[in-house]
Each structure stands twice: as C-alpha cells, then as structure tokens.
Amino acid sequence: MQLKFLGTSAGRPTKTRNVTSVALCLPEPQCGFWLFDCGEGTQHRLLHSGLKLNKMERIFITHLHGDHLYGLPGLLSSRTYFEGAGPLQVFGPAGLKAYLECIFRYSGVHLGYELDVIEVTPGEISSDHRFVVEAAELEHRLPCYGYRIIERPQLGQLNLAALADMGIRPGPLYGKLKRGEAVTLEDGRTLTPADVVGPSLPGRIVTILGDTKPCDNAVTLAKDADLVVHEATFAGGMEEKAANYGHSTFRQAAEIALAAGAKRLVVTHFSSRFDDAAVQELVADARHIFANTEAAADFAEFPIKRPARE
C-alpha cells in the first residue's frame, strides 16, 4: 500500500510540478488504485507512473477548483480505450455530476463502461470488506472535503506447517479457517481458527485532505492516521494571507498532524513561488513542530507500513 503523487503544485503547473493529484495504490489482492483529485494533465502523468487506467477503481474529488478537477473529463474519456476497464465510482462535492454531464453532452462523449458519480455528504461514504471511507467538510472558498481511508483488520496467516502435520491438505477447509470459521475434520475433531491462524494484522489509516484553512474537521479526519496528506500552500509567517485564500502554511499543516496524533505527515500543494530548495527549507521549519514531516514531489512514492500488532 503506497501513495504515488502525480501533481503537487497549487493553482497552476510549473516546469517541475503538475497540479494536484495523488494515487493510493492498494495492497493485494486488489492491486488497483484510487485517485484523489485530477488536475489538468493528470492522465499524462499517469502515462509515466506505471499505473493503468483499467486498474483505477475509484476517484475522489475534494472540490471543484480547476487545479483539482480539470483533468477529470479527459481521463474518464481515455479510460474507455483501455481493455478491461470495469465500472468506476467517482466521489465528490455537489455539482460534480452536473459538471460532467454538461461536458459529456456538449462534447459527445460516450463512455464504454459504467460510471457512477456520487455526490458526498459528511460521514461514511463507502464501505466494503476491506476499506471504510469517511468524508468531512473542510474550510475553503468552495465546498471542499477531506477523506479518511480506514483499512479493516486482516486475518492472520494460516500455519501451513501445522495443518500439514495434522494431515489436512489444501482445500475448502483452508478457506473456512481463513474466514474465521471452525471446521469439523473427518475423524470428528473440531479445529478452530485460533488453532492454526496467526494474529490478525491491524489495518492502516490514510487521510487525504483537500484545500483548507486549519479546522477541527482536519484534525478529526487525521486522528491517529498512519499517514496524512495536508496542503501547504504558503510559508510559515504567511498565515493571514493563507487564511484569506482558504489555505494553510507548512507550520499549520504540522500543527494539524501534531494535534491529531498522526504518525506521518506529507505536505503538498505548494505555491509556485517556492522552488524545491525553498520547499525543503520550509519542511525543515515545520519539523520543529511535527518531526515526521516530508515534502511530496511529482512521482514521489510513500509506502504506508502496517502498524505493529497490538
């Protein structure tokens, strides 16, 4: 499980940074990815990332500003040409459905797959056997959401050596034990998962925030997260300017991570006024508040390690 950044610039692209987009690469058995925001040029970045559009399962849009959205219609259109592109869910604020319907109607686009556009409200917005996704509204100039991705705990590994010693060969019983079910053997013995399944694997929490001023919901979404992605458009000392535009400084992002008890912070969405050297200086300053702060960069990858077993 890892994050791969496709764009890290605020407002407009630069020669070294595209506008906002980040992919969450999922662990086995899915091996697909979810996309968070889709600024102009995102599909071009994907071409150089190793990620294929037919492996993209969901898209989450934080808000409808162009640097987070203008790449979406083109990307959705291009996905039609990828063999095996199945149904796709797109989540985002109210207005997203009308935006896409308008563009597709006037440009004559016909998608070759099922597209489900879901306009989110605060709370749980998606749940399956592997992940729960929650959303909360942030404080920006347009309605803007942050997303909290919660991986459910996973069952431990089967003790294959112990099963072999018992004379139990691979087959349906393995699947039942792995699912947490007790089984009855041919000799009448009952075998429980606790006998042959190792400790469960704790899930991970990833928080990806859209553009925002410091706010309580940012802390709530980032609570105890293994990794938080927070915008850092302005330098420390520019808090008044940041507030006027609905953004945060590097220091404020660090303060949110600290207040949330997060384990790791990756800042992104940098103003074009800051080159790479300036970003590193601002990160060094933010580390005085939250030591485990890192700067995103286009095509940078951040593995998300599973927390230690409890």
Summarize the annotated binding site as residue ranges.
Answer: 63, 65, 67-68, 140, 211, 269
Out of 67, 116, 128, 224, the active site residue is: 67
**Cβ burial, residue 147 (10 Å; 0-12/13-18/19+):** buried
Q: Alpha helix locations (H) across 84-157?
A: 96-107
Task: State the Cα–Cα distance between residues 53 and 84, nearest whole angstrom.
Answer: 9
β partners of residue 60: 36, 91
Element (H, E) at 90: strand 88-92
Residue 67 among the catalytic residues: yes
- Report the distance separating Cα 41 and Cα 150, nearest Å: 29
Q: How far apart are CA 60 and CA 39, in angstroms?
A: 12
Q: Kindly provide the b/e burial profile for residues 62-91, where b requires at least 16 CB atoms within 10 angstroms of the residue's own CB.
A: bbbbebbbbbbbbbbbebeeeeebeebbbb
DSSP letter for each residue of 242-297: HHHTT--BHHHHHHHHHHHT-S-EEEE-B-TT--HHHHHHHHHHHTTT-SSEEE--
Binding-site residue ranges for Zn(2+): 63, 65, 67-68, 140, 211, 269
> What residues are annotated to the active site?
67
